[in-house]
Amino acid sequence: MSPTATATAMPPAVLSRSSCLLSSAVRLRSFSRTLGSASSFAAPGRPPRSSRAQSVHASSASDPPLDVCVKASTTVPHRLGDCPFSQRVLLTLEEKHLPYDLKLIDFANKPEWFLEISPESKVPVVKLDEKWVADSDIITQSLEEKYPDPPLATPPEKASVGSKIFSTFIGFLKSKDPNDGTEQALLTELTSFDDYLKENGPFVNGSMLSAADLSLGPKLYHLEIALSHYKSWSVPESLKYVRAYMKSIFSMDSFVKTRALPEDVIAGWRPKVIG
């Protein structure tokens, strides 16, 4: 079966999986978009990737799906939860057109098998070459090495663009003193990212979507939902390149398919806000 036939014949579907070992597992054999239909990608100014799409590592029916442990929703049974690092990995799999089996981990009751395979009992964890690999940095690097097509690596000199946004967002979210400088710290990072995108965008690596975007996108999604809910705060309209960036990433098929429910994002950050 050709990749195109695979993608078109298999729309995303969540199927129950009966496994004595992985009771809370669901199988998500998923493809981000029909190969060659670059038009379904909603990023402004992005050139068609049809030539790349045709040369992707074929996630053919014979490819076994990769096992991926992610956080389960705390608000809706059998749904993906609110971990931005897990979404980063899922976005990478989607953009590389790799099928995967999603294992939803209930954080309130982590199964014994998961505690055995995840050194810090954290998600995401992915099984690659019969070994469980933890940490989204390592997982995405390993996926890039093992499945180089389509390439998603961000050039090293651009890889840390926007990397302080997440920590400054958390600082502001947790802050109880409006004058402690945490809002300004976040604004400084977002403004610097806006300046960068203005010169170099629309993505971190120019016109090509790359690993840095797949890492930043889920974090900006959490920022948007959590700061709106807990602080009635949003990215200022003056930061129009950041806002356009968020809009285009959040509307990607792969993002829509792998995003957390807003209520899970809100619930997930509550302990940090309450302190």
Considering only the C-alpha atoms of the chain, give the largest distance between any 2 of them, rounded to a whole number of Å: 60
As given in the structure block, the two tokens for residue 75 are 């608000």
Q: Has 20 been annotated as catalytic?
A: no
Q: How far is the CB of 93 from ligand GSH (least distance, A)?
A: 14
Question: Under the criterion CB under 6 A, does residue 215 sit at the interface with ligand GSH?
Answer: no
In terms of CB distance, is 85 or 100 closer to ligand GSH? Answer: 85
Q: Within 61-80, which residues bind ligand GSH (CB under 6 A)? A: 71
Binding segment toward ligand GSH, per CB under 6 A, in 9-17, 117-125, 205-213, 252-260: 117-125
Report the distance separating Cα 33 and Cα 1, nearest Å.
17
**Which residues, in sequence order, are bridge partners of residue 77?**
none
Q: Which of 135, 189, 194, 264 binds ligand GSH (CB under 6 A)?
A: 135
Question: Under the criterion CB under 6 A, does residue 103 sit at the interface with ligand GSH?
Answer: no
Q: Which H or E element spans position 264?
A: helix 262-274
Evaluated on CA atoms 88, 91, 96, 102, the torsion sign reads positive
Binding segment toward ligand GSH, per CB under 6 A, in 34-42, 93-101, 122-130, 256-264: 122-130
Binding segment toward ligand GSH, per CB under 6 A, in 50-58, 116-124, 177-185, 204-212: 116-124
Report the distance separating Cα 147 and Cα 145, nearest Å.
6
Q: Which of 122, 127, 257, 259 binds ligand GSH (CB under 6 A)?
A: 122
Q: What is the strand order of the sheet 100-105 is part of?
A: 13-16, 25-29, 100-105, 66-71, 125-128, 131-134
Q: Footprint of ligand GSH on this chain (CB under 6 A)?
A: 71, 83, 85, 107, 121-124, 135-137
Catalytic residues: 83
